């Protein structure tokens, strides 16, 4: 649980402070050493309140807004609790920083690197390629930027561990992989790779949306070149391995397929904001929420649900700068709105007809759609 720190720069009456702190104390365990520094300091605020028992009437509006904001933040950050059966699953994740090892290596270190990381060195690639890479100044600069952005990987490792616990709980056959961080020359189509018992994370794809190394890459792609996307991207890769591809070519089948992928992310990442799961900004996610009814009406009126045109994939499923309704509002819309609608269909299906995840994954799109009796939010 993370708290933003607030600076109280107005005179606050003692009884408001006591109520606020009582709320915080009731909802959070102040004995948790890991997060203790993030909490409001109880003693210092109470001392401040004792010295300032009066309230300037002109500040009441500011105070009310502050109190409401603080209570909202407290309640929002305490909504998410992990099931004890999940949190108690042993899951010690160790991340191997190959990116750091390679960045610090000299050409003389190459034999040791190949011995330590045999899975990362193909016998078909001559040593000269790796030597050139070690000595390449642009590569060196990229590696330096990765280390600057990720001097350690502690927070991400904890989040990955929590993700793995959720996967293990719902799919006991899951085997913890070896996690290795690498650089990939910004191969953004392969940010995360899951192969056998390996999980490779290309950290040079998460340096921040505005990083200079991303100049020339389209904005809609750069929007997700952020740290916050690492764990959702990992969850998506594992979901990809679990959800069978649809045999039907209908638009409905495609929507429900991606809806299942996103629903698995809901299950695996209950504390992650929904916009991060689908790769939207908060504004784009709000646009989808606000226009869900209109989107669905368009799909129905244009009789798209059972069509099999590949163009529908490009218009409403694939990642892009926007969705393609062929209307003036296109530029305002996010892409992947077909995925978003499929997500809502699957959620309503599970709300009305809860089944096991394994049962959900093998249920066909038509059954899910009809049973869900999907109605968009108004």
Give per-residue pLDDT as tens, 146-162: 999 999 999 999 999 99
What are residue 138's phi and psi, to 5 degrees? Answer: -65, -40
Strand order across the 178-182 sheet: 95-97, 178-182, 198-202, 192-195
Kindly report, residue by residue over 287-310, the tens digit of the pLDDT. Answer: 999 999 999 999 999 999 999 999
Tell me how long the chain is.
378
In whole angstroms, give the CA distance from residue 165 to residue 24: 28
In whole angstroms, give the CA distance from residue 102 to residue 206: 18
- CB-based contact 345:368 (threshold 8 Å): yes
**Average pLDDT of the residues in 109-130:** 94
Region for 32 from its dihedrals, namely left if φ exceeds 0, alpha if ψ lies in -120 to 50, beta otherwise: beta
Q: What is the pLDDT of residue 26?
A: 42
Tokens 């409001």 label which residue?
40
In whole angstroms, give the CA distance from residue 155 to residue 277: 18
Greater confidence, 284 or 83? 284
Q: What is the pLDDT of residue 28?
A: 36
Q: Is 98 helix (H, G, I), strand (E, B) or coil?
A: helix
Q: What percent of the chain has pLDDT over 90?
A: 76
Q: What is the pLDDT of residue 110?
A: 96
Greater confidence, 113 or 20? 113
Kindly report, residue by residue over 257-283, the tens digit of the pLDDT. Answer: 999 999 999 999 999 999 999 999 999
Using 50, 70 and 90 to split pLDDT, how confident is the model at 79? Answer: low
Q: What is the pLDDT of residue 196?
A: 81
Kindly report, residue by residue over 171-225, the tens digit of the pLDDT. Answer: 999 999 999 999 999 999 999 999 889 999 999 999 999 999 999 999 999 999 9
Q: What is the pLDDT of residue 89?
A: 96
In this structure, what token pair is assigned to residue 362? 């093998």
């Amino acid at each position: 649980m993370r708290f933003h720190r607030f600076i109280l720069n107005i005179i606050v009456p003692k009884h408001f402070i006591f109520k606020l702190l009582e709320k915080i104390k009731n909802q959070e365990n102040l004995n948790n050493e890991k997060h203790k520094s993030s909490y409001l300091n109880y003693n210092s605020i109470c001392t401040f309140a004792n010295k300032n028992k009066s309230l300037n009437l002109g500040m009441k509006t500011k105070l009310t807004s502050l109190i409401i904001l603080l209570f909202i933040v407290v309640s929002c950050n305490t909504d998410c609790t992990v099931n004890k059966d999940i949190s108690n699953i042993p899951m010690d994740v160790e991340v191997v920083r190959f990116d750091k090892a390679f960045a610090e290596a000299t050409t003389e270190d190459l034999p040791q690197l190949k011995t330590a990381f045999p899975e990362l060195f193909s016998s078909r690639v001559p040593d000269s390629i790796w030597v050139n890479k070690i000595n390449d100044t642009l590569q060196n600069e990229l590696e330096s930027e990765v280390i600057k952005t990720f001097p350690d990987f502690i927070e991400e490792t904890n989040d990955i561990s929590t993700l793995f616990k959720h996967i293990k709980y719902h799919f006991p056959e899951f085997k913890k992989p070896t996690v290795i961080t690498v650089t990939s020359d910004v191969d953004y189509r392969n940010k995360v790779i899951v192969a056998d018992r390996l999980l490779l994370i290309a950290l040079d794809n998460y340096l921040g949306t505005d990083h200079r190394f991303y100049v020339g890459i389209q904005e809609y792609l750069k929007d997700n070149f952020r740290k916050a996307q690492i764990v959702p991207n990992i969850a998506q890769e594992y979901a990809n391995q679990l959800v069978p591809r649809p045999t039907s070519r209908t638009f409905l089948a495609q929507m429900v397929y991606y809806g299942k992928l996103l629903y698995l992310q809901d299950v695996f990442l209950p504390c992650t904001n929904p916009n991060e799961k689908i790769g939207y900004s908060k504004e784009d996610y709000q646009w989808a929420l606000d226009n869900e009814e209109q989107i669905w009406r368009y799909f129905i009126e244009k009789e798209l649900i059972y069509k099999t045109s590949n163009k529908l994939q490009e218009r409403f499923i694939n990642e892009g700068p926007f969705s393609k309704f062929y209307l003036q509002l296109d530029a305002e819309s996010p892409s992947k709105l077909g995925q978003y609608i499929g997500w809502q269909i699957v959620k309503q299906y599970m709300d009305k007809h809860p089944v096991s995840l394994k049962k959900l994954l093998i249920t066909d799109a038509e059954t899910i759609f009809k049973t869900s009796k999907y109605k968009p939010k108004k």
